[in-house]
Amino acid sequence: MKWHVLRPLWVAIGLIGAILIARVFLVPDDFGVHGRNFTYGFHRLSNVQEWKDFPVKYQGREACVECHEENVHMLDASTHATVECENCHGPGVDHPDGVESLPLDTTRDLCLRCHAFLEYPNSARGDLLSIEDRRHRRRSECIKCHNPHDPKEDMR
Amino acid sequence: MTCSRRAFLKDAVGGTLASVLPLSAFTFISSAEAKAAIAESKVRWAFLVDTTKCVGCGLCVKACKNENEIPYDAEVTRTWVERYVITKDGKAHIDSPMGGRDGFTSMEIDGEEIEPDNIDKAFFVPKLCNQCDNPACVQVCPVGATYQTNDGVVLVDRDWCIGCGYCIMACPYGVRFFHPVHKVADKCNFCYHRISKGMEPACVECCSFGARRLANLKDPDDPVTKIITTERVAVLKDEYGTKPHVFYLGLDANVR
């Protein structure tokens, strides 16, 4: 075969070789088929651990009860027992060591999420005690009269 | 140009060798190795949404955004709550302002006030990633940045994603979005960092009404698995063949 035909062939082989060598350095060792098959499991294995190490923000009331026993027990006994502490107090990450006080949300808007009256038949929303926002003490914060830890308690 | 049979065969063999040799640089795994890589997991995460219990408070969306560091005021979210109001004329009014992050506190939908007398039914539907068994988003990823773990969750490798957006287009459920800070594709992963530590996903923990629950389908004693296997559950967009693993109780035909 003539040289002018062979020459591009060597160039092509050289290129493939260069790409393969570069690949050894660029692709992490744990990159490959892990899991079911190539279609669904082609990835960098250590990324699974990276996601597992993602920081947890919401600690749950088991963490709250360690110091705020009284409040948690009061809440547990109330009609608000199913409401998580962190829904109103904010995520407890780094508290109390890093973040001294959590960003407590005392706004009317927070209460209205569940307690604004929506006239929806066959919806669980209708079963909740609710107010018409426009008619019920428009400008005051709910917590002035209602104790969120024990809503049945009369604070007036 | 003349070419003898001998020369032709010689060149053919040589050419084949030259093109095949570089292939030897690739690794071929044996079937035993492949089996070891698959390593049957004792966990298959799934999710149960009880639409009859959801009241549209949106605390799950708020918790999800805080937990997973999704910019709070950006119009992207890993999970969201849709409101459906079906009026007497059969029309479905659907909205989800900011993904339902601030809850639903007024009767107004898209600037339209709907008379209570005109409503046939109204309900809320939380949505999140379906962690499909045949995830379309994973199939289309050109770089292997998104994948399915052994326990069924689909993850995105933030270091590997090139942000091409193919997966965002491929997901039939519209679950994926472009993360405005990391500039990569992002999606719900059932709070993988929490469930792998034995905790509940943030949205499940913050739901006061039990509308969201996590299940391990491979554990027959899991109470949520029992509901999924024994009660009448539905999935979204079954016709796509993605085999979604978020199951819905009380799913209405108007929900898409």
Of B16, B34, B44, B55, residue with least CA distance to B210 = B55
**Per the domain annotation, does A55 fall within a domain?**
no
Task: Write out the residue range of the structural domain in which residue B164 sits.
Answer: 133-186
Question: Mind listing the pLDDT tens digit for each residue in B184-211?
Answer: 999 999 999 999 999 999 999 999 999 9
How many degrees, rounded to 5, is the angle at CA B50 between CA B203 and CA A76? 60
Residue B100, pLDDT > 80, answer yes
Query: Which two structure tokens, joined as six digits, stand for B75?
Result: 């119009």
Structure letter (DSSP) for residue B142: S
How many domains would you assign to chain A?
A: 2
How far, in Å, CA of B147 to CA of B131, rounded?
A: 10
Is B168 within a domain? yes
Q: How far is CA B217 from CA A110, B43, B151, B213, in A?
A: 35, 7, 10, 12
pLDDT band (50, 70, 90) for residue A98: confident
Residue with tokens 């993602």: A54
Does A66 share its domain with A132? yes
- Mean pLDDT, rounded, for A54-60: 95
Say if residue A77 is in the same domain as residue A137: yes
Q: Is the pLDDT of residue B77 over 80?
A: yes
pLDDT in tens, A128-141: 889 988 889 888 89
SS3 of residue A77 by DSSP: coil
> What's the burial of B92, exposed, middle or buried (CB within 10 Å: 0-12/13-18/19+)?
middle
* Cβ partners under 8 Å of residue B157, min gap 6: A43, A44, A47, A50, B144, B145, B146, B147
Q: How many CB pairs below 8 Å do chains A and B form together?
A: 160
The whole-number pLDDT of residue B125 equals 96
Alpha helices in chain A, H assignment, sequence order: 3-26, 38-41, 46-52, 61-64, 69-76, 85-89, 108-115
Listed range (A78-92, B10-24, B200-214) with the worst mean pLDDT: B10-24
> What pLDDT shows up at residue A156?
60
Per-residue pLDDT tens digits for B1-15:
677 888 889 989 988
| Residues A68 and A109 both lie in one domain | yes
Find chain A residues with C-beta within 8 A of B135's C-beta. 40
Q: What is the average per-residue pLDDT within A87-100?
A: 90
- A67 and A133 part of one domain: yes
Residue B161: inside a domain: yes
CATH code of the domain in which B162 resides: 3.30.70.20
Q: Are residues A100 and A137 in the same domain?
A: yes
> What's the rounded mean pLDDT across residues B14-32?
74
Tell whether the model's pLDDT for residue B26 goes beyond 80: no
CA R_g for chain B? 24
> How does pLDDT run across B120-163, given as a tens digit for each residue?
999 999 999 999 999 999 999 999 999 999 999 999 999 999 99
CA distance B208 to B199: 16
Residue B127 domain-assigned (yes or no) = no
A41 located within any domain = yes
Whether chain A has a CB inside 8 Å of the CB on B34: the answer is yes
Q: Looking at the structure, tell me whether residues A87 and A127 fall in a common domain.
A: yes
A52 occurs within a structural domain: no
In one-letter notation, the amino acid at residue B31 is: S
Within 10 angstroms of residue A58's Cβ, the number of other Cβ atoms is: 26
Domain contains B225: no
Whether A87 is in a domain gets the answer yes
Check whether residue A75 and residue A113 sit in a common domain. Answer: yes
* DSSP-assigned letter for residue B52: T
Structural domain includes residue B178: yes
CB B48 within 8 A of CB B227: yes
Does A153 fall in a domain?
Answer: no
ipTM of model:
0.87
For residue A127, give its domain range.
61-144
- Please report residues of A whose CB lies closer than 8 A to that of B106: 116, 118, 133
What proportion of chain A, given as a percentage, has pLDDT over 90?
61
| Position B40 pLDDT exceeds 90 | no
Contact B11 A1 (CB under 8 A): yes
Both A9 and A66 in a single domain? no
In this structure, the answer to whether residues A91 and A123 fall within a common structural domain is yes
Cα–Cα dist A104/A52, whole Å:
28
Clarify whether residues A36 and A79 are in a common domain: no
Give contacts of B 109-138 with A, CB under 8 A. 116, 119-124, 134-135, 138
Q: Average pLDDT, stretch B33-50?
A: 80
What is the number of structural domains in chain B?
1
* Largest CA-CA distance found in chain A, in angstroms, rounded: 102
Residue reference for tokens 């039914």: B121
